[in-house]
Amino acid sequence: MEQKTTQSNAKSIIEAYVGKKLEDMRDNPDRETRNLVDLALSLSAGRFQKHFLNLAHSLLEDENSPYYALIHDAIKNVGTTNILKFGMNIGYNSFTAGAKTIRNLEKERGYNIPWVITFYVDDRSFSEKAYSEAIRQGKKLGIYTYIFFCSIIPDGLTEIFDEESECAFILFSDAENIENSISEQASEIKNLMLCVKYSDSAVEVCENLRNSKALYSVWYEYNENPMCEELLCSADELHPILTFFVKSGNNYKGYNEVYNEVCKLRDTRTVASAPMEFTGTCRMVDEIISDDACIAVFDESGRLISIDCSENDCNFKNQSLAEIFGKCYPKVAK
């Protein structure tokens, strides 16, 4: 109880400070961004925080870095509360407090726990109760980031986002589905980042999200190695925070080549947004948090389809997450 109180107090202090800095950035975004990164780097203790902040520091050393344009644009066109809430949920709850819980439980229980869970969802098999229960179980394991891929955004999903206010949610869907289901309320859901699939209709949807000061990104689906640099230039016209490249289907082979290309582009870009290869980034973060890379992806039925496990009979709708991870992700003796 005392530890939770200490963590809560620390989070409140950090949140208040970061909130003030975000307001200060409106007047001097370049200087305040560097100051914030430098201070965070000096105070950071966790492996992931140091890795991420060192990367941010190196990218911002160049005063002509295109990422300053990205920061300027975000501060101007995304709600401050949206940036703060989503950032604290993923940066503190997930990467700091959650990561510590994950490492402790992995050591105690002898199996790997992913830092993020990805759900593929359709409206026919969606159960608000089942997904809410999975997230409640996940938080006890230290998991505070949840990704949803929705062919159709089901009723009840946004209620989960509201209810689980300590979590960061990332929702991937087509522009048409976002426009019809969630765009009008997106800016009001402070712990949500929307990811709009790139298409002709994404232009208007992203413009509407931008006007409402919602937090959003763009994503491409690929089979073979895509023309990443050309696609990034097209995505930049929609002003996303991030541009994701997502391997299509359940066959994840070949993502590593795209991941390596995207990492090089991230470091050498001449235009903003920040590029991310989805699978490689999830694995990279998990490996930094707890040494062994571990990814959990569940299909529409609730069955585990992760690349890290050959099991095909695990389903979060009738098994606990702890049971699934204990069975599928045992620690390998080193």
Q: SS in 3 state form for 67-113?
A: HHHHHHHHHHHCCHHHHHHHHHHHHHHHHHHHHHHHHHHHHHHCECC
| Phi, psi of 195, deg, nearest 5 | -120, 115
- Please report the pLDDT score of residue 80 as a whole number: 86
Eight-state DSSP code of residue 187: G
- Low-confidence residues of the chain, pLDDT below 50? 1-2
Q: Are 314 and 304 in contact (CB under 8 A)?
A: yes
Token pair, residue 74, equals 């975000």
pLDDT at 146: 98
C-beta of residue 259 within 8 angstroms of C-beta of residue 281: yes
- Which residues, at least 6 apart from 64, have a Cβ–Cβ distance to it below 8 Å? none
- 90 half-sphere exposure, CB direction, 13 A CA radius: 19
Q: 276: part of which helix (H) or strand (E)? A: strand 274-277
Say which residue the tokens 């095909």 belong to.
Answer: 312
Host H or E run for residue 313 = none
Q: Where are the alpha helices (DSSP H) in the chain?
A: 2-25, 29-43, 47-60, 66-77, 80-88, 99-109, 128-140, 157-163, 175-181, 202-211, 228-236, 255-268, 278-290, 321-328
Q: Are 242 and 86 in contact (CB under 8 A)?
A: no
CA distance 324 to 315: 8
Could you give the CA distance from residue 233 to residue 103 in angstroms, rounded to a whole number? 39
DSSP state for residue 332 in the 8-state scheme: P
Tokens of 43: 């105070």
275: which strand partners? 243
pLDDT at 96: 86
- Residues 94 and 108: their CA atoms lie apart, in Å, by 19
Number of Cβ within 10 Å of residue 262's Cβ equals: 23
Q: What is the pLDDT of residue 228?
A: 85
SS3 186: helix
**pTM of this prediction?**
0.88
- Side-by-side strand order, sheet with 216-222: 274-277, 242-247, 216-222, 192-197, 168-173, 145-150, 116-121, 296-298
